[in-house]
Amino acid sequence: MTAQEQFEVDFKREAPELWNVAKHIINHPNLTVEIEHTNEIGHWCFAITVATPNGYNGFWLDTRQTKESAVQLCKDMGWKLHTEEGDWK
């Protein structure tokens, strides 16, 4: 199973009501994401959130226990990551 297929399976399992929004976002040609360390859900994790396109800012695409895992998912999915140092793809 590809990273994209696994992401779809996992997202649909965790938040099926949001899949149509997520599908639209991840297929957007200007998608840029950020990784933020947060405990907003009751435990510390690294949330992958939408930076652009506008209108979806802050939408959570996934969470990971480590920053390395979050970065790897971004790479596997082909998401452009916005960092303090600048963007990369």
Computed over every residue of the chain, the mean pLDDT equals: 92
Range of the domain at 17: 3-88
| pLDDT category of residue 75 using cuts at 50, 70 and 90 | very high
This prediction has a pTM of 0.89
Question: What pLDDT, on the 0 to 100 scale, is given for residue 85?
Answer: 67
**Amino acid type, 68:** E
Residue carrying structure tokens 């930076």 = 51
Instruction: Assess contact for 81 and 35: CB atoms under 8 A.
Output: yes
Q: 24-54 pLDDT, tens per residue?
A: 999 998 899 999 999 999 999 999 999 987 7
Total tally of structural domains belonging to the chain: 1
Compute the Cα dihedral for 30, 31, 34, 35 and give only its sign: negative
